């Protein structure tokens, strides 16, 4: 029998073996150490989001503005790129492996090591691919920096290096948390950024338009102080003549209205219920009589990762559409340069959201004011009501289909498939009552549940994210961001409980795959 041909990615093996990486612990890391490294990285993340890029002019055009909560960064800081390069590299590699363009069998240890190593190399490439376009019209250097270093090219390079350094630090912190801490660094950074946005959106007492004085047309930006101020300053006639609409839906400088607050609470409750929904398969210990347990298969089996990947993909679509339409060097490209049907943008006011074209139909549904009210009022911004309805349907469909696709890819690349789970259960010494102690038999049983739950869970989490974006949330956190944060916090709680259980009962480490 001829030896199976290896993937071309094996040419990267010498580079992967020498690639700098966080060393995986050779012994068990105790619970306190894991908490320490997790908290340390989280504090460092908040510090870095307040370290602004040196030498950037006052006008910062944020290409990821509408996806900032998902990208886990801060506009204008060295964390400007956030987790974008990491997630984009993961998307590209998953699509290539799933489409069999890259032939890797992720059930084999050697192929999986090549896959993970290639992903690290691709992350570095994506850092520069996403950093370089930022300096051409979006993060322009100041005249002072240009004069100091002797030219625009060197000044651009300095900004690119700062962006690359910030993105690489995010990558290293994510790896540090995944190996020495608890949970995922990417998830932690998303939850931290969204939580900060929600807190600010709820309690911010400063005017929505900071340059203007406090007034009924410019109330406090936070939901609680803003609602109190408007209710106390408006008379009955003003309340009837548009005041109630501002209080409940928002308008102009007051976007953190009551409906977005109710939407945030509803998302929290729905996600909490969905995360607790699961199928439990009975297990028994093969050698210890009476020792029984259950293996839970959650409805959201692939976690929130599919939505993160899908949102990052849409953020990249928006970025490249913006570049093709506005970048002086790309406007002249035949067929795609400055073409409104790809995406039309007006950046004069600092906006990076499309107002027409394909990118508009794929852009985020940012609350009821952006789609439902135009449908009711007969259109807006040159779009007919049916176009807003089509946009809502397209966005919902894309989020559901994409989440299902990425959910299926994710379980195959993270040892969550039926055969991998069957091996983990057997290695723990547990068996399913009534079935032979054979991972292949157990794998066939799990194949009845895991693939189906993966599709249902992926569709559910995609629909929840899209509907949450449609309703809107406080703090401009986006519905997807709130959904992710709630799921991340629930999973973080479960992970901490599991770590504490393994700390008290070391025999459980084998069952959870910690050793």
Q: What pLDDT shows up at residue 58? A: 66
Q: Which pLDDT score is estimated for 44?
A: 92
**What does the mean pLDDT of the chain come to?**
81
Quick one: tokens of 447? 């194949």
Instruction: For residues 510 and 427, give the distance between their C-alpha atoms in angstroms, rounded to a whole number.
Output: 7
Cα–Cα distance between 84 and 103 in angstroms, integer? 25
The answer to whether the CB of 71 falls within 8 A of the CB of 166 is no
Are 160 and 302 found together in one domain?
A: no
Instruction: Supply φ then ψ for residue 386, to 5 degrees.
Output: -65, -30
Query: Where in the sequence is the domain holding 110, given as residue range(s)?
Result: 31-182
Question: Could you report the per-residue pLDDT of 131-166, keeping only the tens digit for each?
Answer: 888 887 678 888 888 888 888 888 889 999 999 999
Is 175 within the bounds of a domain? Answer: yes
Residues in CB range of 267: below 8 A, 6 or more apart: 464, 468, 471, 473, 479, 482, 483, 486
Q: Which helix (H) or strand (E) holds 295?
A: strand 292-298
* Distance set, CA 218 to CA 221, 227, 351, 476 (Å): 8, 12, 20, 17
Q: Which residues of the chain have pLDDT under 70?
A: 1-5, 58-60, 98-99, 107, 137, 210-211, 252-253, 285-293, 349, 428, 434-437, 501-515
Does 431 share its domain with 343? yes
Domain boundary among 182, 212, 237: 182
Report pLDDT for 288. 59
CA separation for the pair 115, 449 (Å, rounded): 27
Residues 174, 311 within the same domain: no
DSSP letters of 239-255? IIIIIHHHHHT-BTTB-
Residue 397 has a pLDDT of 94
In this structure, are strands 430-431 and 292-298 parallel, antiparallel, or unpaired? unpaired
Both 316 and 458 in one domain: the answer is yes
**282 and 396 belong to one structural domain:** yes
What is the pLDDT, as a whole number, of residue 291?
A: 60
What's the per-residue H, E or C state across 8-48?
HHHHHHHHHHHCCCCCCCCCCCCHHHHHHHHHHHHHHHHHH
Tell me which residue has tokens 């970025």. Answer: 319
Among 182, 203, 235, which residue terminates a domain? 182
Eight-state DSSP code of residue 356: B
In the listed set 182, 215, 242, which residue is the last one of a domain according to the structure?
A: 182
Tell me whether residue 7 is in a domain: no
- Do 459 and 314 fall into the same domain? yes
* 488 located within any domain: yes
Structurally, the chain folds into a number of domains equal to 2
Q: Is residue 233 part of a domain?
A: no
| DSSP classification of residue 351 | -
- Same domain membership, residue 140 and residue 278: no
The pLDDT tens digits for 160-189 are: 999 999 999 998 898 899 888 888 888 888
pLDDT of residue 3: 46
Domain identity same for 155 and 274? no
Does the residue 119 lie in any domain?
yes
Assigned domain for 217 exists = no
For residues 392 and 485, state if they share a domain.
yes
Q: Is there a domain that residue 93 lies in?
A: yes
Q: What is the pLDDT of residue 1?
A: 38
Is there a single domain that holds both residue 40 and residue 169? yes
Q: What is the pLDDT of residues 92-107, one digit of tens each?
A: 887 777 667 777 777 6
CA-CA distance, 245 to 461, in Å (whole number)?
30
Considering the domain boundaries, does residue 227 fall inside one? no
Which residue from 256, 463, 464, 483 is spatially nearest to 367, judged by alpha carbons? 256
Q: 387 and 498: one domain?
A: yes
CATH number at residue 38: 1.10.3370.10
Tell me, yes or no, whether 177 and 267 share the same domain. no
The secondary structure of 470-512, three-state, reads HHCCHHHCCHHHHHHHHHHHHHHHHHHHHHHHHHHCCCHHHHH
């Amino acid at each position: 029998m001829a030896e199976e041909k290896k993937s071309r990615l094996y040419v990267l093996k010498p580079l992967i073996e020498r690639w700098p990486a966080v060393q995986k612990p050779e012994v068990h890391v105790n619970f306190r150490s894991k908490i320490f490294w997790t908290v340390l990285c989280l504090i460092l993340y908040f510090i870095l989001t307040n370290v602004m890029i040196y030498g950037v002019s006052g006008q910062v055009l944020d290409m990821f503005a509408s996806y900032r909560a998902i990208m886990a960064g801060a506009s204008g800081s060295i964390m400007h790129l956030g987790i974008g390069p990491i997630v984009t590299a993961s998307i590209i590699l998953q699509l290539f492996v799933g489409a069999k363009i890259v032939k890797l069998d992720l059930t084999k240890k050697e192929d999986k090591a090549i896959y993970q190593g290639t992903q690290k190399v691709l992350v570095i490439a994506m850092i520069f691919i996403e950093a370089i376009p930022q300096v051409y019209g979006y993060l322009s250097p100041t005249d002072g920096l240009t004069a100091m270093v002797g030219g625009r090219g060197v000044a651009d390079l300095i900004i690119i290096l700062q962006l690359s350094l910030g993105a690489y630090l995010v990558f290293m912190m994510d790896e540090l948390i995944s190996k020495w801490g608890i949970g995922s660094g990417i998830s932690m950074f998303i939850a931290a950024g969204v939580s900060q946005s929600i807190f600010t959106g709820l309690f911010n007492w400063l005017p929505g338009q900071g340059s203007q004085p406090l007034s009924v047309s410019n109330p406090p930006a936070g939901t609680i102080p803003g609602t109190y101020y408007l209710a106390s300053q408006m008379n009955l006639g003003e309340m009837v003549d548009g005041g109630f609409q501002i209080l409940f839906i928002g308008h102009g400088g007051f976007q953190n209205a009551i409906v977005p607050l109710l939407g945030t609470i509803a998302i929290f409750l729905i996600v909490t219920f969905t995360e607790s929904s699961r199928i439990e398969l009975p297990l028994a210990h093969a050698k210890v009589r009476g020792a029984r347990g259950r293996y839970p298969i959650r409805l959201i089996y692939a976690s929130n990762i599919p939505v993160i990947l899908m949102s990052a993909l849409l953020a990249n679509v928006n970025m490249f559409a913006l570049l093709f339409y506005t970048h002086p060097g790309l406007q002249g490209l035949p067929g795609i340069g400055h073409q409104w049907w790809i995406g039309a943008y007006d950046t004069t006011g600092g906006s990076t959201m499309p107002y027409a074209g394909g990118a508009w139909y794929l852009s985020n549904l940012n609350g009821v004011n952006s789609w439902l009210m135009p449908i009711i009022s007969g259109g807006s911004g040159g779009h007919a009501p049916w176009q807003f309805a089509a946009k809502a349907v397209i966005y919902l469909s894309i989020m559901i289909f994409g989440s299902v696709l990425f959910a299926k890819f994710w379980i195959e690349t993270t040892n969550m498939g039926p055969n991998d789970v069957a091996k983990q259960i057997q290695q723990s010494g547990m068996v399913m009552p009534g079935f032979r102690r054979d991972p292949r038999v157990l794998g066939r049983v799990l194949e009845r549940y895991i693939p189906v739950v993966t599709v249902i869970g992926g569709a559910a989490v995609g629909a929840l994210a899209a509907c949450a974006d449609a309703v809107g949330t406080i703090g401009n956190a986006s519905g997807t961001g709130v959904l992710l944060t709630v799921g991340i916090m629930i999973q973080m709680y479960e992970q901490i409980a599991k770590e504490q259980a393994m700390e008290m009962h070391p025999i459980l480490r084998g069952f959870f795959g910690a050793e």
